Amino acid sequence: MPQFIPLLSESEINKQVKKIAEKISNDYKTEDLVLIGVLKGAFIFLSDLTRQITIDHEIDLIGASSYEGTSSTGQIVFTKQPDLELENRDILLVEDIVDTGNTLLKIIEFLKLLNPRSIKICSLIDKHERREVQINVEYSCFSLDKGFIVGYGLDYNEKYRNLPAIYDLKP
């Protein structure tokens, strides 16, 4: 039986999301902000973050999938592309967790072809131990050294996204 060890409570998460949203609202002075959520893991974080950001912005989604179980397959498959016009826009990519960094690197390479004004990253969790590429996570709510976590959108084989808090999963 897998063990779920509580890591971040609902109120800890809410507090940090609010803080990051405030920072984003202060930092972006243009009226061209587009949040692009990375499916599927970011859907809950994105929905909380957007409601805490106080400046006008638009929302889009990009689908990228790289994981089976707890280890990367090394392959990134695009399952959805953004619909909005992104030329000269300020893109803020919203991710659940940055691990090796390979998923975001591929997404950024793809988005650059659309000539946005800027691309920055906002990740709920910045996980350090297995980073393989140099990625600058401008906004992150929590830092994590290692481990595999679930809940608040994060899954293990598509399950446990619905848990309102975040747990360390011990197989």
Q: Judged by CB under 6 A, which stretch of 13-21, 52-60, 108-116, 149-157 contacts ligand IMP?
A: 149-157
Give catalytic residue positions. 99
Residue 41 interacting with Mg ion (CB under 5 A): yes
The CA distance from 57 to 66, in Å, is 28
Sheet holding 166-170, edge to edge: 3-8, 166-170, 149-150
Q: Closer to ligand IMP by CB, 24 or 104: give it.
A: 104
In the bound state with Mg ion, the residue whose beta carbon lies nearer, of 21 and 42, is 42
Q: How far apart are alpha carbons 10 and 27 in whole angstroms? A: 26
The C-alpha torsion from 142 through 14 and 54 to 49, rounded to 10°, is: 60
Residue ranges in 87-146 that form contacts with ligand IMP under rule CB under 6 A: 95-103, 127
Q: Of 41 and 101, which has the nearer Cβ to Mg ion? A: 41
Please select the residue that binds ligand IMP; options are 45, 139, 148, 152, rule is CB under 6 A. 148
Question: Which of the 8 DSSP states describes residue 76?
Answer: E
